[in-house]
Structure 1
């Protein structure tokens, strides 16, 4: 037993720099910034399956490392920002776009948004046999959104709702193929993990995991 303790002590001493690096990296990823792999197409065309995105965990709060306890509130999410959050309703981590803020009135009719009485405008970007991409513009925010021609979504319309205090209404950019606030309800602020920033790198899952060079270091907020 004594010998084992000595061996452990020698190992720790010999590898103290590596162990310190691991601890600091774990703290960094827990409280400052992290990166996540995107497994679904719910945010296409903005984020593709296989993208590895960076997340600024200090965008909204400073948290105690390895907990969800916020000790300082820095900022609040704004319309158009892409957020990562731990959804209790969905029982998993999700990434979606903030569409409406606390106090906003929101409705959707045949995939077209209205916020506080202002209707979003839409312009065609691209169309194929399976989908079409349109630019959605409202409140000064512009983003490209995807519509699957073959998807008959029951979520294309909903009556006017008011976003509660400390909650957000979020949608996926792949509007007919996204489980978002239309399914799981509003996102409580205390579930936020951070704001998505860049696609660090991307792998093509359908082609032997070949890197998609054109998506490396792609800014998600342009």
Structure 2
């Protein structure tokens, strides 16, 4: 007991700081390392993404238990969530919200009977980047020159407390087309910007052009 008391006295400030930082990361804001290219070209492999954990709910720290609802996810939001079906933490873009009817034909979305507008951006090796106008929210997506089995799905109406989410790299993303609709209870927060990005193919050097880059 004396040893514990001495340890507390000698390290009290550090212990309090670590505890407060842990609570902050659990309930207020956190950062996540992106390990895959499913959100390219918006998010690159190696990005550390700042996520606002109070964007939608105030939660009991270290749990998924909501204490207060602060807002609702909107189409175009980039969300971080703990997927039970995927058994993993994922980051995707909200495409459809409760009440929306959504379908996908040849990698072009139709929401509530209206096909979204697309503009060609530039070609890559084996793929094409486009600008997708998601009800006024313009962002980049990537589609393969040879469409995959993910390039289409039949019309679905989204029930309450569920969301349809997809990766911006449309032919290379295990999203709602694979794991189903996302329960609101699994959402951790809204991804807002890149804090820092490390280039795994270039000796983990930081990508200076992505420092503090806001996510669209």
TM over 0.5: yes
Residue segments in structure 2 that go unaligned for 5+ positions in a row:
none
1:134 to 130, 136, 139: 130
Distance apart, 1:128 and its partner CA: 2.5
In our comparison, the structure showing a higher alpha carbon Rg is 1
Question: Are the equivalent residues in 1 in contact too, given 2:75–2:134 (CA < 8 A)?
Answer: no
Tell me the residue number matched to 1:213. Answer: 208
- Number of matched residues? 216
Establish whether residue 192 from structure 1 lines up as the match of residue 182 from structure 2.
no
Establish whether residue 65 from structure 1 lines up as the match of residue 50 from structure 2.
no
Moved over 3 A (4+): none
Distance apart, 1:129 and its partner CA: 2.9
- Structure 2 counterparts to residues 1-222 of structure 1, below 5 A: 5-149=1-145, 152-221=147-216
Distance 2:176 2:94 in 1: 10
**TM score, norm. by length of structure 1:** 0.95
Residue segments in structure 1 that go unaligned for 5+ positions in a row:
none
- 1:92-140, CA deviations, whole angstroms, 9 ceiling, x for partnerless residues? 1110000011010000111110000110111111113322100011311
**TM score, norm. by length of structure 2:** 0.98
- Across the aligned residues of Structure 1 and Structure 2, the Cα RMSD in angstroms comes to 0.9
Question: Are the equivalent residues in 2 in contact too, given 1:119–1:138 (CA < 8 A)?
Answer: no
Question: Are the equivalent residues in 2 in contact too, given 1:61–1:73 (CA < 8 A)?
Answer: yes
